[in-house]
Structure formats: structure tokens, C-alpha cells
Amino acid sequence: MYHVLHGTEIARLGRRMQTRQQALATAQLYIRRFYTKVPIRDTNPYLVMATCLYLALKMEECPQHIRIVVSEARTCWPGKLHPTSPPLIGSGPPLSKPCTTRAQQM
């Protein structure tokens, strides 16, 4: 059921940005793959859709500046991309030690 919502919403955003069909299909694939690993309730799906479209545009060699994608997403989904959105994945404490360089270890 969620893939229908994502497909409709990503197509709506893509229409506003005059995106090629191949990039939209790639974005939908990225969304589907992401949500096979992460529960939807732990994320802001509108932020995930905008991110996947941005990455798909870069991969399909029709890049748009991130500011354009974000401004179009905010226009398309007013109030959905808000700073008080649910926490992002990885925003909690780190699961492993931070990387250190060899110079820091000595």
C-alpha cells in the first residue's frame, strides 16, 4: 500500500520538476529498497522521497541542485518537511567508536 502512495507523491514532485521517467523509476526503486530495511514509522516518508529523487536525478545524469529539490518538495508538500519531523535514522548515539586516524592513536 505504501508503494502506491510513494509512487503517486514522487510522480507529483517529478512533474513539478519536469523529471525524466527513468529518474522517477529509479527513485521509486530506492524508496522500496530503503523501506525493506527501515520501518516507515521511524522516518519522515516525504524527506525520504525527496532524498531518493535527488539521488536518482544524480544517478540518471540529470542532476538538480539540492536547493531546487528541497524548495520544490516544500512547495509540493507544505508542512511535511518540517524541522520538527520525526528523528532521522542515525541521529541517536553512535553504535560504534568514531574513526580515528593513525596519528591520533599514537
- For the chain, what is the domain count? 1
Entry field: residues in the chain: 106
pLDDT in tens, 31-59: 999 999 999 888 888 899 999 999 999 99
pLDDT of 71 reads: 87
Residue 13 belongs to a domain: yes
Residues with Cβ within 8 Å of residue 98, at least 6 apart in sequence: none
pLDDT in tens, 49-90: 999 999 999 999 888 888 888 888 888 888 877 655 445 454
Residue 100 belongs to a domain: no
pLDDT of 58 reads: 93
User: pTM of this prediction?
Assistant: 0.71
Residue 15 belongs to a domain: yes
Q: What are the E-state strand segments in 3-94?
A: none
pLDDT of 8 reads: 87
